[in-house]
Chains A and B, each alone.
Chain A
C-alpha cells in the first residue's frame, strides 16, 4: 500500500484525462481540431499558398477556443460540485490546480505545432492546384511569438476561470474583452494608453509580428500582470480558502 502523497505526474494524468472523459469535453476538443483544420484549409484556398498566413489563421480559432477550454477545466470542479470528491482525495488544492493548468498550456503549444503541420501539406496542395509557387517563408521569431501569444491567451483563460470560479462569467469576460478594448481604445489618448498597457491582445501584437521593442516588452509585462498573474494569484487564494459544500 502506497501512503505517500499522490505523485504530481499522476495528478497530471488524471486532470488531462478529465479533458476527454465526458461527452461535453470530447465535443469541445473535437470542435477545436475540426475548426483549426477548417480554418487552415479555407484560408489556403482563399489566400493562396503562403505557409505563414495559412498556419496563422488557426491562431484565431486557438485564441478563442483554447481559453474556453482552459476556463472549463479550472471551473469544472465548482460547476459540477466534483470538488467534493477531488479535494477529498487530494486536500492540497494547489497541487490539483497546478495539474489542471498545465495540460491547456501544453495543448496550446501542441496546437500551434499541429497547425503548422497541417498548413504544410495544405500549402503544397494549394500551390499545386492553383499552379502558383508556394511561399514557405516563416520567420522563426514570429512563429515563436505566435505560439507564446496562444499560450498567454490560454493562461488568461486559466487565471480568469480560477479567480471567478464560474465558467459563463469568465468566458464572457474573455471573449468580450476584444470588443470592450476596441471601444476603450477610441476614447481619446487616455483610452489609447490604457489599451496599449492593459489589453493583452494589443500588447501581444509585436510578439506575433516578431518585432518587440523594450517598450513593447514592458507593455506586455504589465498587461500579463493585470490579466494573468494577479487574477491567478487571487484565484489560488480563493481556491485554498473556499469552503466546499
Chain B
C-alpha cells in the first residue's frame, strides 16, 4: 500500500503540490492522471525519497521510503525512463540492479524476457534505444526484486500500441497478485482501461478520485477530466 498524506511541495515560485492526500491500496492499479505540470512526478519523487516535501508525508507499506532497508524488494520505481547512461547496455543496467538487490544473474534474463527485449537488444547501449525500449527496460528494472508496490511515471510514453496493450496486461496481473500499482499519465486513455481507481490532479491540487465509473457518471470520464482541469487552471489564473 502507498499513502500520500497532506503532501505539499513548494518550489520558489510554484506550489507543485498543495495538500494532496490519497491511497493506493494493495491489489489495485491506481491511475494518477493530470495535465503536464500537475505535480505527478513531484509526488512520485517525494515518495521515492528523492525530494523533500514542504509539508506532509508519503509512505510505502506504512513506512517512509528512507526507512526501507532494501527498497528494491518493497517498491519498484520507474521515475524517468530517459535517465540512463547512454553508453551502458540494457542488460548491464539490469545487472547492476540485480547486484544491488543480491539477485542471481538469471533474474536479469527472466526480466529481459518478461519485458520483451531480445538478447541482442539487451546487449546494445541504451543510448541507441527508442523511448519505448527504455520504458520496457525501466519497467523491467522496477520489477527486478518482485516488489509489492510499483510506481511508474508516464511509462506509456513512447510505447507503441502493442506495448501499451502488453503493459496493461502486465499491470493487471501484478495487481491481481496483490501488488499496489501507481501509474501516472497525462492521457486519460492510457489509464482508463487498466485503472481500478483514478486520482485526478491539476495545478498541484487533488481534483477528484474514485473508480472510473464513479468519476465518469453523467458526463463521461473525458468530460469530467477536461472540466476539472479547466476549473483548476481558472482558479489559479
Contact = CB atoms under 8 A, between A and B. Distances in A.
Interface of A: 1-6, 10-11, 13-14, 17-18, 21-25, 76, 80-85, 87-92, 243-245
A91 B100 contact: no
A245 B50 contact: yes
Given A3-B73, A10-B102, A88-B48, A82 B68 contact: no
A5 B69 contact: yes
Interface in B49-81: 49-52, 65-66, 68-74, 77, 79-80
Contacts of B87: 22-25
A11 B100 contact: yes
25 contacts: A2-B70, A2-B102, A3-B69, A6-B101, A10-B102, A14-B96, A22-B87, A22-B92, A22-B125, A24-B87, A76-B85, A80-B85, A81-B82, A82-B83, A82-B85, A85-B77, A85-B141, A88-B49, A88-B77, A89-B71, A89-B72, A89-B101, A243-B52, A244-B50, A245-B41
Contact of B97 (A13, A76, A85): A85
Interface of B: 41, 45, 48-52, 65-66, 68-74, 77, 79-80, 82-88, 92-93, 96-97, 99-102, 125, 141
A22 B85 contact: yes
A168 B54 CA distance: 33
A14 B99 CA distance: 7
Given A23-B87, A85-B83, 9 more contacts: A3-B69, A4-B70, A10-B102, A18-B96, A25-B87, A81-B82, A88-B48, A92-B66, A243-B50
A92 B92 CA distance: 23
Nearest to A92: B66
Given A4-B69, A85-B97, A21 B49 contact: no
Contacts of A92: 66
**A contact face: mostly helix, strand, loop, or mixed:** loop
Contacts of A87: 49-50
Nearest to B49: A91
Contacts of A245: 41, 45, 50-51
B65 A3 contact: no
Contact of B100 (A4, A80, A89): A89
A91 B125 CA distance: 26
